[in-house]
């Protein structure tokens, strides 16, 4: 990650977290938001969480290489092919992160009631210390990190075109969520680029609600 050596680690301990504000300027971010909103095959999903089948409070799309199968909360996700826009974004992020990504999870938060439950991206197929690049387009939403032992909390508002990079031991010690809000919110698209190392052999324990 030598391209990020000049960036400040936002975490006080136990991991690495880098924020690049306006990684894509407004004009480019507008273009990507509009294209992704219209072109991705957004789906409403159900996940198994603590033995219950629950509807995910957002729309999702999983894209990647043919072998980039991803399993969490009791559901297998088979990748849809890369689109031209996702491929272009992947190329940009691989250059800045000096990391190869073979998949991307797209989430569409339609309003303030769409959310992501508290979790860690610690599935076995992501490897020991995964580097995950998270792009945001559209409405600003709050991403909250909480340390598993100390309870230390870090709130980060993510805006249009922002890039957040999670790395090091972060997933072992911190959990993160995108909480609901009563404030009026327009749509937001979040893309998390990952490298899937191998297909999982057992159901993952994390619950991305």
- Around Cβ 42, how many Cβ atoms within 10 Å? 17
- The pLDDT value given to residue 5: 76
- Give this prediction's pTM: 0.90
Both tokens of residue 165? 């990079």
Return the bridge partners of 55, or none. 46
Q: Is residue 199 part of a domain?
A: no
Higher pLDDT, 102 or 46: 102
Which residues form the domain of 143?
8-177
Q: Is residue 209 part of a domain?
A: no
Q: Is residue 61 part of a domain?
A: yes
Q: Is residue 56 part of a domain?
A: yes
- The pLDDT value given to residue 46: 75
Q: Is residue 123 part of a domain?
A: yes
Angle of CA points 84, 159, 39, to nearest 5°? 25
- The pLDDT value given to residue 52: 74
Q: Is residue 207 part of a domain?
A: no
- The pLDDT value given to residue 4: 78
Summarised one tens digit per residue, pLDDT across range 33-85 is: 999 999 999 999 877 666 777 788 999 999 999 989 877 666 677 899 999 99
- The pLDDT value given to residue 199: 47
Summarised one tens digit per residue, pLDDT across range 122-146 is: 989 999 999 999 999 999 999 999 9
> Structural domain tally of the chain?
1
- Residue 30 pLDDT exceeds 90: yes
- Across all residues in the chain, what is the average pLDDT? 91
Evaluate the CA torsion angle 107, 50, 197, 99 in order and state its sign. Answer: positive
CATH number (domain holding residue 131) = 2.60.120.590
Q: Is residue 129 part of a domain?
A: yes
Residue for token digits 């508290």? Answer: 118
């Amino acid at each position: 990650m030598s391209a990020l050596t000049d960036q400040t680690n936002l975490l006080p301990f136990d991991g690495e977290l880098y924020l690049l504000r306006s990684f894509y300027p407004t004009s480019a971010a507008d273009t990507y938001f509009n294209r992704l909103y219209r072109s991705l095959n957004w789906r409403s999903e159900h996940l198994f969480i603590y033995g219950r089948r629950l509807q995910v409070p957002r729309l999702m799309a999983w894209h990647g290489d043919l072998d980039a199968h991803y399993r969490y909360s009791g559901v297998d996700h088979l990748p849809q092919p890369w689109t031209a826009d996702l491929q272009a974004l992947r190329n940009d992020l691989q250059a800045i992160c000096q990391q190869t990504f073979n998949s991307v999870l797209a989430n569409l938060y339609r309003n303030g009631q769409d959310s992501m439950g508290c979790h860690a991206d610690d599935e076995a197929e992501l490897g020991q210390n995964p580097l995950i690049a998270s792009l945001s387009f559209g409405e600003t939403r709050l991403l909250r990190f909480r340390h598993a032992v100390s309870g230390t909390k870090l709130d980060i508002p993510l805006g249009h075109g922002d890039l957040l990079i999670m790395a090091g031991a972060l997933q072992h010690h911190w959990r993160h969520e995108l909480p609901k809000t009563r404030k009026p919110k327009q749509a937001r698209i979040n893309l998390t680029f990952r490298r899937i190392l191998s297909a999982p052999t057992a159901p993952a324990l994390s619950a991305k609600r």
